[in-house]
Amino acid sequence: MTRRRPDIQTFSPRWPDFRLLPPQEMRLTYDRPSDTLFVDFSGEARAAASVPLDRGDRDYLFLRVDPETEAVVGMQIEHFLSYAIARHPELRAALDVAQIGRIDRGELDGLIPATMRTARADTRDTIIEDLIRLCA
């Protein structure tokens, strides 16, 4: 008997017009247990699928996509400390503005490679621009 391949949904993600999104509503959150940085465009997590981006041999960059409208409602960067910031050192600054879950900042600093502990003095807008540029 032939095993049928599942009919997996594919996406054509639609990015929002960021000129219309109040930057102060964008929320960054870092979750230590899953080592994931979340970016919510509208201030809170919305129900969505996690759509991986093809960026090399590992999946660590995901768009959060509404499966009905295909609108991108956020981003999800997995393996953030263990992998992502080594590839993209500019992301280190995101931890300075993110809400941090399940770890205090002192412990978090201990997990960051020594060469990255002093972050650039990026503005929040610059950090968000870097994240969007990475995933767009």
Phi and psi of 11, rounded to 5°? -125, 145
We find the least distance from the C-beta atom of residue 121 to another protein, in angstroms, to be: 29
User: Does 58 contact another protein by CB under 8 A?
Assistant: yes
User: Does 50 contact another protein by CB under 8 A?
Assistant: yes
CA 45/CA 58 separation, integer angstroms: 24
CB crowding 57-73: b at 16 or more within 10 Å, else e: eeebbbbbbbeeebbbb
We find the least distance from the C-beta atom of residue 93 to another protein, in angstroms, to be: 22
User: Does 34 contact another protein by CB under 8 A?
Assistant: yes
Q: Which stretches of the chain bind another protein, using CB under 8 A?
A: 6-11, 29, 31, 33-36, 38, 45-52, 57-59, 62, 67-68, 76, 79, 82-83, 101-102
